[in-house]
Amino acid sequence: MNFSLLLTHFNLLLTGAELTVIMTLGAIFIGLALGTALGMARLSKSRAVRAFTGIYLQVFRGTPMLLQICFLYFALPQIFGPGVWKISFLPGLPDAAFAGIVAMGLNSAAYIAEIIRAGIQGVDIGQTEASRALGLSHSQTMRLVVMPQAFRRVIPPLCNEFIVLLKDTSLASAIGAKELMYQSRAMGARYYEYFVFMIGAAAVYFALTFVLSVISGYIERRLAVSD
């Protein structure tokens, strides 16, 4: 086991870690925005809206994320053409990384939707009744009264979902996204030193998740719901 190789090529692991962070942030943005909308739609009075969101949740929670990543990257170009992943929100972002971000964001949204729904239902019904009695509309009640309280309640499970999402970026290596897992596996194959480079990747993953855990703990303490 030649650990000097790890020190020599540690910059490649850091390059992979940079892409891992970018993919995580992109997936969090998509998952949080879409998941919040789906969570609110789950409580809609429209049966059609509830049915649609129910189907979405069942599909994305009932199939593996790896399958979803591969489906979006390999199958969609057969329908929409080979340039479907050329459109990215960051210039120079590789197609595989962009596809991974979208797939992970769509998958995470299904779980975040249920977290948000539980948070909304956890707010006392008296808050809604009091808001309506004061003349607030339904949208104003949700935006100004219910959602701020709901988000404070769901911070712990949301942060846990974000940590899981960071680790799940490793699945994008299956489609060629050169994130942390891809780089460590490539270096391991090049020098046949899998143990050394996998240990290095594990250390970087641990550092990233530790930082995210510290940040989430700080936010949770700052916005803690009073007993």
Mean pLDDT of 147-166: 89
CA angle, corner 22, sides to 18 and 27, nearest 5? 145
Residue 112 to residue 36: CA distance in whole angstroms: 7
Per-residue tokens: 207 = 């550092």
Contact 147, 193 (CB under 8 A): no
- Where do we find the tokens 């609110």? 40
pTM exceeds 0.75 for this model: yes
Q: How many CB atoms lie within 10 A of CB 44?
A: 12
CATH number of the domain at 22-176, out of 3.40.50.720, 1.10.3720.10, 3.30.2130.30, 3.40.50.1860?
Answer: 1.10.3720.10
Q: Which of 9, 114, 12 is nearest to 53 (CA)?
A: 114
pLDDT at residue number 87: 66
Contact by Cβ (8 Å): 98, 83: no
Take residue 43 and report the two structure tokens written for it.
Answer: 């409580």
180-191 and 10-41 are packed helices; what angle lies between their axes, rounded to 10 degrees? 150
pLDDT attached to residue 8:
86
Q: What is the pLDDT of residues 46-87, one digit of tens each?
A: 999 999 999 999 999 999 999 999 999 999 988 888 777 776
